[in-house]
A and B are shown apart, each in its own frame.
Chain A
């Protein structure tokens, strides 16, 4: 299991993040991202995952994160813009990571060898 820091993620482009995640997960690793992915990065990850699914080899990923938060502080409100605050995310091979229960602030998952 690897825990990837917010600092490391901030220094990467969206495509670099998605590629790193898929490569590691395909090697059987479970990743915990301190900062998580933006909604568009998550859809990119889903898209690339689908392209790599192959019978008896790779059946996809399990990904769990808390719902994103709107970062609507005073300055953003004044400027009329909303930024998104992503939250901790767990990603692993679908064959090894199973979500048991999830709600707004809790993710219960089962990891199998």
Chain B
């Protein structure tokens, strides 16, 4: 037992020695799940800056943005991350959907084109990450194909996944529904907008990606 303990200590020392100094963590999810709202909150809390603009119209974020060297400290653990806020992944983009939000046809078509490029960019980033914060809208059905694809990709590569069940400030939210759909991954119910449970999320980030 003593030998095993000693070996354990040795391995943890080796692990620290060879561990990456900082991890690239992507914020992923379907459009309008609150990815940029969460990215803004994380980056603002730990660096004082912001990542990007938010809107109720889907595909507001159409270019991935990277913020380097964000150090998160919680409960004595500290982790330095590159945070990548990614455009929402979708399997369909119809410019008519943007017109339904009151955008003119030309602008809707331009937005749709940029949104398709954004999705491709998000997919490309998947290959270059060390972990993911998967943001799900807790008021929506969690079994979307986008969630299934993102989780499947990271599981296949054995990379860590942390689920942020967002929008718990809304009355019909149900983080429990998300947990029962994907019980194999840690989940933190949050409101990125109001900051509810955000300290709990930082604790999980520091433990999970550190």
By a beta-carbon cutoff of 8 Å, the part of chain A in contact with chain B is 38-40, 42-43, 46-47, 49-51, 53, 55, 59-68, 70, 82, 84, 94, 101-104
- Distance of A23 from chain B, by nearest CB (Å): 16
A61 touches B92 (CB 8 A): yes
Interface centre among A46, A49, A70 (most CB of B within 10 A): A46
The B145-174 residues at the A interface (CB cut-off 8 A) are 145, 148-149, 151-153, 155-156, 158
In the assembled complex, the Cα of A65 lies from the Cα of B143 at a distance in Å of 9
Residues of B close to A82: CB separation below 8 A: 158
Contacts of B200 in A (CB 8 A): none
Residues of B near any A CB (own CB < 8 A)? 89-95, 109, 112, 116-117, 119-120, 123-124, 126, 141, 143-145, 148-149, 151-153, 155-156, 158, 181-182
A43 contacts which of B117, B123, B144, B181 (Cβ < 8 Å)?
B123
Lowest 4 CB-CB distances: which A-B pairs, in order? A60-B92, A39-B152, A94-B92, A59-B94
- Taking A42-B149, A46-B123, A67-B152 as contacts, is the C-beta distance between A62 and B112 under 8 angstroms? no
Given contacts A46-B149, A50-B117, A64-B145, contact A104 B93 (CB under 8 A): no
26 interchain pairs, CB-CB under 8 A: A38-B152, A39-B152, A39-B156, A40-B153, A42-B149, A42-B152, A46-B91, A46-B119, A46-B149, A49-B92, A50-B116, A53-B112, A55-B95, A55-B109, A59-B94, A61-B91, A62-B92, A66-B148, A67-B143, A67-B181, A67-B182, A84-B156, A94-B91, A102-B141, A103-B143, A104-B143
Q: Is the CB of A104 within 8 A of B181?
A: yes
Residue of A39, A53, A60, A104 touching B153 (CB-CB under 8 A): A39
The 8 Å CB contact of B145, one of A51, A53, A59, A65, is A65
Nearest-neighbor residue (CB-CB) of B95 within chain A: A55
- Find B116's partner among A53, A70, A102 (CB 8 Å cutoff): A53
**B93 and A59 within 8 A (CB):** yes
CA distance A92 to B152 in the complex (A): 21
Once the chains bind, are A50 and B145 in contact (CB under 8 Å)? no
Contacts A43-B126, A102-B143 given: A50-B93 contact, CB under 8 Å? Answer: yes
Distance, CA A13 to CA B191, complexed state (A): 43
Q: Which residues of A contact B93 (CB under 8 A)?
A: 50, 53, 59-60
B91 engages A49 (CB within 8 Å): yes
When C-beta atoms are compared, the residue in chain A nearest to B177 turns out to be: A103
CB pair A47 B120 closer than 8 Å:
yes
Contacts of B149 in A (CB 8 A): 39, 42-43, 46
Please state if B94 and A60 are interface contacts (CB–CB under 8 Å): yes
Cα separation A39 to B28 with both chains bound (whole Å): 15
